[in-house]
Amino acid sequence: MNAPYHPGEIRMQERAGSRETANAMARTIYPVIAHQFINFIESQPLVFCGAAESNGLVWASQFCGQPGFMRVLDEQTMRIMALPNDEDPLMANAGGSSELGLIIIDFATRRRLRMNGRAETDKEGLTMRPRQVYSNCPRYIQSREYAMAGDDFNPTRTIRHGTMLSAANQQLIGQADTFFLATFHPLEGADCSHRGGFPGFVQILDENNIVWPDYNGNGMFNSLGNITEYPNAGLLFMDFEKGSTLQLSGRATVLWEDERMSRFPGAERIIEFSIRKVLETENATRLHWNFVEYAADNPWWD
């Protein structure tokens, strides 16, 4: 197995004082799909992903289907029988091979699994061959339960492209308690991670800039380590009840010392994100989620 951390991750770990924790966590990173993950993977209806376009922009997206649409073929191979919507930027890599970061979350139990590796895409889905597979803790995951519309559910899908946030986009972000962060490293590949907190934990600075807190986590700094070496990143916000999505692509900056830190109780750093492209999709998925409860470890606002 290759070294589990690249220099950007190590620098972040050293600055945060988490090298010892990160080294301990490295023992939980598998180079294959361990047997104990199979039932979890195959029972889920949704997987989030991150990847880079050929132009260097990074995007976060999602695949969904009836449980079983993800199948573990062997310890080095997973098959996903689904693709994003046709206009999703990740479809630019369809028919070829690309680096992909995946995260699978069961919102009901707050269990999550990360998988990073190389994927080959065809007309029906993709085949994932992971290099790193590991679990994360359940912190900051809001509990939700889903329902999936039947195959006859075929509402009009409306897609809007832009370069700045509309008033409706800002409202969705301002009310969000969850989003997904895609990052990329030119040598180490793609990664996709979860971010959560009480509504308002993502703050809008203007039509092209937002900021959010980075709370205490597993000490590995996979996402922020990537950002320090390759600032392009992608965000995915979801309207869980309506099944719509908001995808943003831009550049992220990690700020360790900033006067705005005081706005975010519990934050150890903040991340500022400058938006370059916006993709809003109504009726992006047949999945609709009902909120159950917030995570007990979300930092409280004053």
Give the mean pLDDT of 19-39: 95
Other CB atoms within 10 Å distance of the CB of residue 151: 8
The predicted pLDDT at position 1 comes to 40
The predicted pLDDT at position 110 comes to 97
Lowest mean pLDDT among 5-14, 188-197, 256-265, 275-284: 256-265
Separation in Å, CA 188 to CA 20, 22, 116, 264, 275: 22, 17, 9, 31, 24
The predicted pLDDT at position 123 comes to 87
What does the H/E/C string look like for 200-238? CCCEEEECCEEEEEECCCCCCCHHHHHHHHCCEEEEEEE
Sign of CA dihedral 278, 226, 221, 187: positive
pLDDT digits (tens, 9 = 90+) for 222-258: 999 999 999 999 999 999 999 999 999 999 999 999 8
Three-state SS at 258: coil
Give the mean pLDDT of 98-111: 96
The predicted pLDDT at position 156 comes to 84
Dihedral-angle region of residue 192 (phi above 0 means left; psi in -120 to 50 means alpha; beta otherwise): beta
Q: Does pLDDT of 47 surpass 80?
A: yes
**What CA dihedral angle connects 100, 126, 284 and 253, to 10 degrees?**
10
The predicted pLDDT at position 155 comes to 75
Q: In the predicted model, what is the mean pLDDT of the chain?
A: 93
Share of residues in the chain with pLDDT > 70 (%): 97
Share of residues in the chain with pLDDT > 90 (%): 82
The pTM of the full predicted model, rounded to 2 decimals, is: 0.96
Q: Does pLDDT of 302 surpass 70?
A: no
Lowest mean pLDDT among 21-25, 148-152, 197-201, 253-257: 148-152
pLDDT digits (tens, 9 = 90+) for 112-169: 999 999 999 998 999 999 999 999 889 999 999 999 887 667 778 899 999 999 999 9
For the chain, the domains span 7-292
β 77-80/244-255 pair status = unpaired
- In the block, which residue shows the tokens 């079983």? 68
The CATH architecture annotation of domain 7-292 reads Roll (2.30)
Q: Does pLDDT of 279 surpass 80?
A: yes
Other CB atoms within 10 Å distance of the CB of residue 198: 14
Q: Does pLDDT of 97 surpass 80?
A: no
Q: If 0-12 CB within 10 Å is exposed, 13-18 middle and 19+ buried, where does residue 39 land? A: exposed
